[in-house]
Structure 1
Amino acid sequence: MRVSNRTIIAAACGVLSTVGVAQAHYLWLEPDEAGARLFYGEAEGGLKEKSPGKLDTIKAPRAFVLNQLSGQHKALTVSLTAGHFFVNGGGKSPALLATEGSLEVRDLTKHGLGMAKTNYYARYGQPKGPNDQFSFALDVQGRDPNKLTVLYRGQPLKGAKLEVIAPNTWVQEYRTDTQGRVAINTPWRGSYVIHVLHVDATPGEFDGKKYESLRNHFTYTFLKADGADPGPAVPPSHGSD
């Protein structure tokens, strides 16, 4: 019966997919009572990298907590554990942020991507608000988690692809309109992860090395308290980094 209910909801949404083959790794935040956990991997496949291992390729993540009244952000301590980075503090703040911009330029020519620099951005709790004085290069804003605007360098991003990963790891795909806006479906209760990859083909230089493009990964995680039972997770299907 549970599977049948899920199928009915999926048909109504019209955009749900069981295809969970990831295109790349990214960072995302999950809260706990003492702060948050910052994972590296692919949420849609249940893949969370470990240390020692690929988690060690994330060298210098930074995290912040939002002061809802002032709009200011306070830096938090980030420490490496065997399965994630632990973000100490934040409590029950409505918004936590994390970023990793220190990764070196990589030669991804064999993947058809040329010389590329990758940056990671992650939000938890709520999108960028009117009093939020901290903005990622790639970000989302909106008062309703189901109605968002994707921004790149402060401007609406037309045609951006969003992967919405449900609590049971089903994936929905959307594209923003000409104003960078998108409305998503969240039929189940639980934690959702939105992943956006935007490739900026403007050449540049980082740490003395030239790159042909910036690969910007952004995630926005939020909890939906109501909705249908999500049922069991879809079996993992891990893609390559």
Structure 2
Amino acid sequence: MKFTQMTLAAVAAIVSGFLSLDASAHALWLENDAKAVKLYFGEYSENLRETSPGRLDGIVEPTAVVIDATGKESPVKPIRENGYFAIPGSTTGNAVLVQALKQPIREPQGENPAPVSKRFLYARFGKGGSLPLDIENTGNLLRLSFMGKPAAKTEVIIIAPNGWEKHLTTDEKGEVSFSLPESGLYVIEAKYELRNPGEFEGKAYAIESHKVTFSIYK
């Protein structure tokens, strides 16, 4: 998987201040094994799930909300296991929203490094509630939003159970039609970047990098 790299000058050239980049590479996603919902980190398309000790430890203090059938939201603290985070109180029929907001600053790498970025990772399973960068579906329509507003002309990647990927682009309303051809778990990814300089844990950054996944079983 490759990250799209851009210079600060290229970022400044985007009038809107937003960038829609390659949504591939590592992400968080949720799976329901019929007993509970579990949070994974890795690359679903490559069947790669990071472990602890290891890169799973790089996910810092994720928070989660479990939403029951009545719409009641209950904050919970994910529990780090060897190969995933267990989501307490999550059962079949619950929706789960996860946010990992305390991720370390991404340092520039290579001869032509990308701008220093601060990562914000999200994952959704089921309907209800909202995330800063969110994917929701109605029938065969996906809707991508950022801070409650449509994320137009942004790439969305649908990853099938066998690792097959389909790349789509949202319209002006932040919407795109989709279909799921086979049974199993689909993970839908989207990434949105914002030029919003700041500082985190004493380190400056130029870009906010937001990534979300939406898990759907067919």
**Alignment match, 1:81:** 81
Alignment of 1:7-86 (within 5 A): 23-69=24-70, 71-86=71-86
Amino acid at match of 1:183: S
Displacement, 1:135? 1.9
**Alignment match, 1:157:** 151
Q: In structure 2, which of residues 102, 119, 131 is the aligned counterpart of residue 136 of structure 1? A: 131
Displacement, 1:214? 0.9
Displacement, 1:76? 2.2
Classify the secondary structure of the residue corresponding to 2:196: coil
- What is the rounded CA distance, in whole Å, between the counterparts of 2:93 and 2:198 in structure 1? 36
- Normalised TM-score (structure 2): 0.83
- What is the rounded CA distance, in whole Å, between the counterparts of 1:208 and 1:68 in structure 2? 42
**Alignment match, 2:200:** 206
- Normalised TM-score (structure 1): 0.75
**Alignment match, 2:122:** 121
Structure 2: where are the runs of 5+ without partners?
1-21
- What is the rounded CA distance, in whole Å, between the counterparts of 2:34 and 2:137 in structure 1? 26
Q: Deviations over 1:196-219 (max 9, x none)?
A: 111112222333432100111100
Amino acid at match of 1:137: P
Alignment of 1:87-236 (within 5 A): 87-110=87-110, 112-126=113-127, 132=128, 134-144=129-139, 146-224=140-218
Q: How many residues align?
A: 196
Conserved 8 A contact 1:34-1:88:
no
- What is the rounded CA distance, in whole Å, between the counterparts of 2:69 and 2:199 in structure 1? 35
Q: Deviations over 1:169-201 (max 9, x none)?
A: 110100001111101121111110001111112
- What is the rounded CA distance, in whole Å, between the counterparts of 1:143 and 1:183 in structure 2? 10
Q: CA RMSD in A?
A: 1.9
Structure 1: where are the runs of 5+ without partners?
1-20, 127-131, 225-241
Structure with the greater alpha carbon radius of gyration: 1
- What is the rounded CA distance, in whole Å, between the counterparts of 1:108 and 1:25 in structure 2? 17
**Alignment match, 2:6:** none
Displacement, 1:161? 0.6
- What is the rounded CA distance, in whole Å, between the counterparts of 1:92 and 1:203 in structure 2? 41
Conserved 8 A contact 1:65-1:93:
no
- What is the rounded CA distance, in whole Å, between the counterparts of 1:221 and 1:141 in structure 2? 10
Classify the secondary structure of the residue corresponding to 1:140: strand
- What is the rounded CA distance, in whole Å, between the counterparts of 2:137 and 2:163 in structure 1? 24
Q: Percent identity?
A: 33
Amino acid at match of 2:104: E
Classify the secondary structure of the residue corresponding to 1:202: strand
Amino acid at match of 1:120: L
Displacement, 1:22? 8.0
